[in-house]
Each structure stands twice: as C-alpha cells, then as structure tokens.
C-alpha cells in the first residue's frame, strides 16, 4: 500500500506525515509539487506548512501546482486525500472541500495541544474512531478559522460532513467550532489540527493521531 505525501516549496510537516504513514506499515511515497505523476499511490496526504510562502492566500497558489491537477482529478474519482492544516487550506482553495480558512479570530499564531471530538467515523480517514470520541492532538496555525456561508454550514451539519470539532475554548473562531470536514464521498478529509504530530507519546501529546492513518489502511485493505 502506497501513500503519497506531497512536498510543496514551504511544506513543513511532510516528514512527520511520511513517518506516520510508515508507522502504520504503509509505504510512503514522496510526491513533488512540480511533478504531475502520482507514482501509483493509493492515497495522498497534503501536509502542513506554508506552501509557496502562503502568498496571496493560504493554499491559493499551491492549488495550481502540477501535482495538484492530478490529485484533484483522482480525488474527484474517489482516491482518499487527507489535507492537514495547510493541506486543508489547499483542499478548500481547490474547491475539493467547501468553505475557506481565514485568520484566527484573535490574530495569534496558535501552537498548543487541542482536544477534539470526532463527529464522523464513516470517512476513509476516521473509521478507526468512535463517534463522540475525544482526542488530543497539536493545533498550530495562524489561519485556521473555518468560514463558509450559512447554506454551506447548514449542508455540512445536515449531511454529517463535519469530521471533528474543537472541544473547550474556541481556539480560532471557526464556525460551529469546526476543526475538520469531509466531502459527500467521505474520501477527502481536511483537518486543521495535526494527527501526524501525535503518533507517539514520546514526541507528541498522545498517540491519538494514529487513528487517521490506521483508518486509511483499514479502508484500503477492505477494498
């Protein structure tokens, strides 16, 4: 099983994402932003960071990278894609997920361990969790406030497309405390906090993040 991890100029968390992929027994394949060849991967992770300097808007320029045109096509055809932090921003800019991520409401860059509640375990990336399960993984971003119009919000809530919600104090002003969402097919997930930084209690606040990576393995094997 091969899971691609994209590196854009300015990606930061590609190594941790690749490490998380290896930790659950999959092969991690480095994908380069300038190469539209996905090298036969079964799924893709768009990692955190500041792709192309996040100039203009976070993820706005990455969306037009050669690798993204291939990923957008494959994702629309059902390939699992997980966008973490900057990757979530790229997914929204690519219109693979609705809404947009804007400046945190208190304007600070946040870096802390964040409690989340899993709301949807029927996606390709969350099947190993229970609905209602609370997990703690790092949250680190300056533009993590999830915004969308009222009709989109009603659709996300009505169709159960909210994957995870912040628990406790509102960290960034996201509508309905949304930390992550999915598409109708459940193959594309965008998540602001970082599961790849929480796969080992030695180096993270917990190993709660592992569930996202074991979920995709389960999903692949069962196919």
Partner 1 sequence: MAKIVVDVMLKPEILDPQGQAVGAALPRLGFTFAKAVRQGKRFEIEIDGEATDAVLAEVSKAAETLLANPVIETFNVRVEK
Whether 197 is catalytic: no
Task: Give the binding range for partner 1 (CB under 8 A) out of 103-111, 180-188, 199-207, 214-222.
Answer: 103-111
Choice from 2, 10, 23, 102 touching partner 1 (CB under 8 A): 102
Q: Are 81 and 125 in contact (CB under 8 A)?
A: no
Asked if 104 is part of the footprint of partner 1 (rule: CB under 8 A), the reply reads yes
CB 173 → partner 1: shortest distance, Å?
6
Which residues does 124 contact at the CB level (< 8 Å), separation at least 6? 43, 80, 186, 187, 189, 215, 216, 219
Whether 194 is catalytic: yes
Both tokens of 55, joined, read: 């100039």
Give CB contacts under 8 A, 24+ apart, made by 14-17.
14/47, 14/49, 16/47, 16/194, 16/196, 16/197, 17/45, 17/47, 17/84, 17/196
Whether 196 is catalytic: yes
Task: Give the binding range for partner 1 (CB under 8 A) out of 4-12, 56-64, 163-171, 212-220.
Answer: 56-64
Asked if 60 is part of the footprint of partner 1 (rule: CB under 8 A), the reply reads yes
Q: Which residue blocks in the chain are alpha helix, DSSP H? A: 14-23, 66-76, 86-93, 150-158, 210-221
Nearest Cα to Cα of residue 57 among 22, 23, 99: 99
36 vs 147, which CB is nearer to partner 1? 147
Asked if 147 is part of the footprint of partner 1 (rule: CB under 8 A), the reply reads yes
37 vs 149, which CB is nearer to partner 1? 149
CB 17 → partner 1: shortest distance, Å?
25
Asked if 206 is part of the footprint of partner 1 (rule: CB under 8 A), the reply reads no
Cα(195)–Cα(183) distance, integer angstroms: 19
Choice from 4, 87, 99, 195 touching partner 1 (CB under 8 A): 99
Residue ranges binding partner 1 (CB under 8 A): 56-57, 60-61, 64, 92-93, 98-100, 102-107, 145, 147-150, 173
């Amino acid at each position: 099983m091969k899971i691609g991890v994209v590196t854009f100029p300015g990606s930061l968390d590609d190594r941790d994402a690749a490490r998380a992929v290896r930790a659950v027994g999959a092969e991690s394949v480095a994908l380069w932003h300038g190469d539209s060849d996905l090298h036969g991967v079964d799924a893709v992770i768009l990692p955190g960071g500041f792709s192309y300097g996040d100039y203009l808007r976070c993820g706005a320029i990455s969306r037009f990278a050669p690798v993204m045109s291939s990923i957008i096509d494959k994702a629309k055809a059902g390939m699992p894609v997980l966008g973490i932090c900057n990757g979530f921003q790229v997914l929204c800019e690519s219109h693979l997920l609705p809404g947009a991520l804007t400046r945190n409401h208190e304007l600070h860059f946040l870096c802390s361990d964040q409690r989340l509640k899993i709301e949807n375990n029927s996606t390709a990336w969350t099947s190993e969790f229970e609905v209602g399960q609370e997990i703690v993984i790092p949250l680190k971003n300056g533009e993590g406030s999830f915004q969308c119009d009222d009709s989109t919000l009603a659709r996300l809530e009505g169709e159960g497309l909210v994957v995870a919600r912040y628990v406790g104090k509102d960290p960034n002003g996201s509508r309905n405390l949304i930390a992550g969402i999915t598409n109708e097919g459940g193959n594309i997930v965008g998540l602001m906090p970082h599961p790849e930084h929480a796969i080992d209690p030695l180096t993270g606040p917990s190993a709660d993040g592992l569930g996202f990576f074991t979920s995709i393995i389960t999903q692949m094997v069962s196919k």
